[in-house]
Each structure stands twice: as structure tokens, then as C-alpha cells.
Amino acid sequence: MIPVKRREIARTGPFGAASSPPSAFHEKMARNSVPRLRAPPILPPLHVVLVEPEIPPNTGNIARLCAATGSVLHLVGTLGFRIDEKAVRRAGIDYWHLVKVERHLDLAHFRNALPEARWFLLSASAERSYLDAAFRPGDALIFGRESVGLPDDLLAQHPDSVFGIPTLGAVRSLNLANAAAIVVYEALRQIGALGGTFMG
């Protein structure tokens, strides 16, 4: 075995042999200011509705999705975490100010706030694919709790509005944040919101 000199170990930083990051790392960080592929916002916006979400990172990721797509985030019922300014700052969510967030006591309160919005209930027990839905601007995409999904009685009340995401493997369901991203971007595609892209 070849002995390793202590001095060489001391000079080794988190990026390898050199104690300072390579130039490629600085170049990557500098790319934060370059133009990105954008699309104009749609009006009225989509509404992403989370009913009693339980896992903070999922809601954080969906909040970022809403910020990126100009969608409104609706949080319904009791949350499994705090979303006050201190908690958001501690979680390192630096885009929260870009998201329009609305709180609702329950789905009846949400319905009263947006009586014209069409409901699309996303469920792992759905029999129809989200690809069969016909989305329009202003639609409400409603997702349930990570542990149990949307209530069975709610799904039974709106059988024509229940859709799911097909899976090819034997998992019970997709991660909530992944499911939201899939459905939101399909809705945007159908609406035609992704056609007029530009660099900005």
C-alpha cells in the first residue's frame, strides 16, 4: 500500500484534489443569470388543490411547480406542517414569494371561493387516465393526502371527474409532487400554453 501524505489530504477540498472548486463549477453557477425557455402565462390560471397535505417537501415542490407555471396553489383543510414565514425560510424555499397561495377550511369553502372552476379529482383508484381529460384554463386539479388520497365519498359524488395516472409497474401510486407535475403540464399542453415559447 502506498502511504498518503497528510499534507496532501489537508489540501484536498470537497471538489477533489484542489481545495477550491474547479472553474466548471463557477461557470455552472454563473448560468443562473442566463435566459431560460419561457412561455406566456394563461388566464385564468390553473388551480392546484392539495387536500390536507402531509409531507412538507411535496408541498414545497408543488409550490415551485405553481411558481413555474403561473398556477395558483390552494391548501385545503388541516396541514401536516407549518407554512409561516419562519418555517418556509428554514426550509430554504426561496421562491415562496412567487407563488399565489390560498388557504381554505374545506372543499366547500374552496367551491364557494371558485364556483366556476371545473373539478378534476386525481386518484390512484381512478378507472380513467388523465390523458382522457379535456382541460381548460381555470380548471381545478385536486389531489388528496399522501397516505390515503381523496375521500371515497368525494370520489363517489363526482364519478365523471375522477382521473388517474397509469403506472407500468406494481407500485401503489406515484409521489404526490410528481403526479401534480405530470397533470399540470399535460393540462398546459392541451390548453396550448406551451406553444409560444421564448427566451427570457
- Looking at the domain covering 39-192, what would its CATH class be? alpha beta
pLDDT value at 7 more than 90 = no
Q: What is the mean pLDDT of residues 30-43?
A: 86
Residues 129-174: pLDDT tens digits? 999 999 999 999 999 999 999 999 999 999 999 999 999 999 989 9
Residues 13-22: pLDDT tens digits? 333 334 444 4
47 burial type by CB count under 10 A (0-12 exposed, 13-18 middle, 19+ buried)? buried
pLDDT value at 23 more than 90 = no
pLDDT band at 83 (very low <50, low <70, confident <90, very high): confident
**What does R_g of the chain's alpha carbons equal in angstroms?**
22
Q: What pLDDT score does 9 carry?
A: 33
Residues 6+ away with beta carbon under 8 Å from 93: 60, 63, 64
Question: Residue ranges per domain, the chain?
Answer: 39-192
5-42 residues labelled b (16+ CB within 10 A) or e (exposed): eeeeeeeeeeeeeeeeeeeeeeeeeeeeeeeeeebeeb
CA separation, residue 173 to residues 72, 157, 169 (Å): 24, 22, 10
